[in-house]
Amino acid sequence: MTKRQLRSNFEPGTSRWAVRRAQWRALGLTDEDMEKPKIAIVNTSSELSICFSHLDQVSARVKEAVRAAGGIPFEIRTIAPSDFIISAGRAATYILPSRDLITNDIEVAVEGAQLDGMICLASCDKTTPGQIMAAARIDLPTLVALCGYQASGQYRNHHMDIEEVFLHAGHHAAGKLSFEELKEMSENAIRSPGVCSGMGTANSMHSVCEALGMALPGGAPVRAMSDRMMDYVDRAGSRIVDMVWEDLRPRKILTPGAFRNAAATVLAVSGSINTIKHLQAIAVEAGLDVDVYRMFEELSGEVPILAAVRPIGPNSIEEFEDAGGARGIMKRLEPIIDREALTVTGRTWGEELEDVGIADPEVIRPLDRPFAHKPGIVLLRGSLAPDGAIAKVGLRGPGRPMSFDGPARVFDNSPSAEAALKERVVKPGEVLVLRGMGVRGGPGMGGASRLVFALDGAGLGPDVAVVTDGQLSGLVNVGLVVGEVKPEAFTGGPLGLVKDGDRITIDVDGRSIELHVPQAELAIRREAFVEKPLSAEKGWLSLYGSTVTPLEKGATLVAR
């Protein structure tokens, strides 16, 4: 392989060369090492969450593989945001902004040091998009190593995982489950490190990463710390060194066709709706004029549901992995996807899929025999959401409403909505509007998932629709819930003008969401609308709220 000039090698005798040599010699590097590719190992290790608790071991293994392949690894630490942990602060609004902290953190460390390539250890929800956004921005040879999902447990002879704990916490809040039962569930839900089992945001984003071509094919999903995962990690450490010499950069991989492949994959597994805004953000960082939301709208009529992994269906994430995982989905989608799109292997998806088989055709079904022809993720538009909103309806089982018409019951924050639910103020037939949760209104985008599960626990899941400009956990799959309404209420979108009693109609199959208020009345309300000041007066959330773009632009950061 032809060796090219490495950007980490400065001209001998210059001040940059001299101080760098002094620093790195003190770390034990030799002059021979100075000539090798310098690889950042981006590690989001943390003792705050089980999601990241194994990454130091993974990092050590990757470093060995990089050295064996002729590179020099440098471990770079970033923040490690776990949704279930950092959601405790500021009404869960730290969750989405943590993604952009990761992106900027990587840029400072890797671009500032002028390293030659990087491997990103992807784990919980925001690490994967944050890492790919950084890769797209600085356009440095990058490979994302997917670090696996956690083992689930058993509770009284039934499967138990973090999704069940999350759901049943809502049932406990509604008085339908005892504290002792919930406590026992929480003690038996997780049996190993790794991300949440099931097709929540983390495993959805891992599949997205592979479909984009940014991870070695065959790694999503994977049991954390399994022999298969460690073999995958070894191959990733070796491959990144070759990618540096080949100068294979993210913007060669992140083409419009790659985004189409990722969108098709999400639709085929009815994955987390959070993937859409993350893909849009990655496209923005890659400098692409791609409307990911429109892409999902267009593909939803073409891509059936081929896998039914929890929470939308009966299959476990283990069964999905064993059947072929994301690569198996890509094989099934071969007539639909862009086969010319590149992967980090340097080969096209067409080449990568030549010898791929499906181990279990009942878990990953063919296009002509899907779990469902109708999409599990539906983008809605209408007078209440002129710029769009998203409903995740999964497999549309019995009792799952696909349309709703009723009066609004409006809340400006989650605590007031949860209190009203406990006091039985919320009635069957109403549309519960939870607003002020958008990227600027949070600021940072609050979560509505706890309220949705509380409604389910109260037995109101099928009888009360939820409409919010906030985000939803990838594990939410109950009731009729419309999230990410755009424009958000904080900026004067129609959601911010709704009053108690206003009639709202949701039609999933018609892809519409309408507010039945005369235009003249809305004009009066809009005239009286006053945008509130950001609720965060200082700190990261204040900076985020004052610089974040709307969701349709990926909720990325720009100077105002």
The strands making up 117-122's β-sheet, listed across from edge to edge, are 72-77, 38-43, 117-122, 142-146
Cα–Cα separations (whole angstroms), residue 202 to 199, 209, 360: 7, 10, 23
Six token digits for residue 430: 């109403």
**CA atoms of 489 and 471, how far apart (whole Å):** 13
> How do beta strands 431-434 and 403-411 pair?
parallel
- Alpha helices, DSSP H, located in 439-555: 449-457, 519-528, 540-547
Mapped onto helix, strand or coil, the DSSP state of residue 433 is: strand
Q: Which residue of the set 473, 535, 542, 546 is catalytic?
A: 473
CA torsion angle 472 510 260 197 (round to 10): 30
Query: Scanning the structure block, which residue is given the tokens 């050295």?
Result: 67
Six token digits for residue 86: 């950092």
473 has catalytic annotation: yes
**CA atoms of 78 and 105, how far apart (whole Å):** 6
The residues that bridge with 309 in the sheet, in sequence order, are 315
Give helix 449-457 / helix 414-422 axis angle, nearest 10°. 10
**CA atoms of 43 and 523, how far apart (whole Å):** 51
Q: Give the count of beta carbons closer than 10 Å to the beta carbon of residue 387.
A: 15
Is the four-CA dihedral 212, 216, 217, 220 of positive or negative sign?
Answer: negative
Q: Are 169 and 124 in contact (CB under 8 A)?
A: no
Q: Give the count of beta carbons closer than 10 Å to the beta carbon of residue 58.
A: 26
Cα–Cα separations (whole angstroms), residue 515 to 13, 379, 417, 463, 482: 69, 16, 20, 19, 14
Residue 371: exposed, middle, or buried by beta-carbon count in 10 A (0-12, 13-18, 19+)? buried
The residues carrying an active-site annotation are 473
